[in-house]
Amino acid sequence: MKRLLSTSYTETSFNLATFLLRCCFAFLICLNHGVPKLAHFGEWQHNFYNFLHLGQPLSLILSIFAEVFCAMLLVLGIFSRLVAFVLVVDTFVAAFIFHHGQPIKNFEDALIFFTGFLLIVLVGPGKWSVDGMTGR
């Protein structure tokens, strides 16, 4: 009980927390958002949100890049802060630009992902990552 009320933490618990944060958020965004975009590319390329006015297919490709490739790099802990920042931008667009003015139930997932990836940018990947093992 004393430990539950404590504000201190061990290095192991911090590294476990950052590992779980990285892996859970990255796997979830990849499986629930990135892979469906990749699988339905042909259908979605003409209706995808064109936020940078680069064209809908390119916007979809950039979102797939973030949600599949950057997410998998984040699971491994390679270039963690950089790829987490790419995911912060991706989820920021979804939460605050695409879903602007909609009820929160429409962008709750994007907001949660945004928060998780922002935390990774702020605290880093932890030592249980390729970046952590190489001392970056």
Please answer whether residues 87 and 74 qualify as being in contact, where contact means their C-beta atoms are separated by less than 8 angstroms. yes
Q: With the C-alpha atoms ordered 78, 79, 85, 91, is the resulting torsion angle positive or negative? A: negative
Joined together, the tokens standing for residue 12 give 């192991």
6, part of any domain: no
75 closest CA partner among 14, 34, 125, 22: 22
65, part of any domain: yes
Tell me: the pLDDT tens digits for 30-74? Answer: 999 999 999 999 999 999 999 888 999 999 999 999 999 999 999
Which residues span the domain enclosing 53? Answer: 17-130
3, part of any domain: no
Average pLDDT over residues 69-84: 97
- Per the structure, the count of domains in the chain is 1
pLDDT at 23 (0 to 100): 97
Single pTM value for the model:
0.92
11, part of any domain: no
57, part of any domain: yes
114, part of any domain: yes
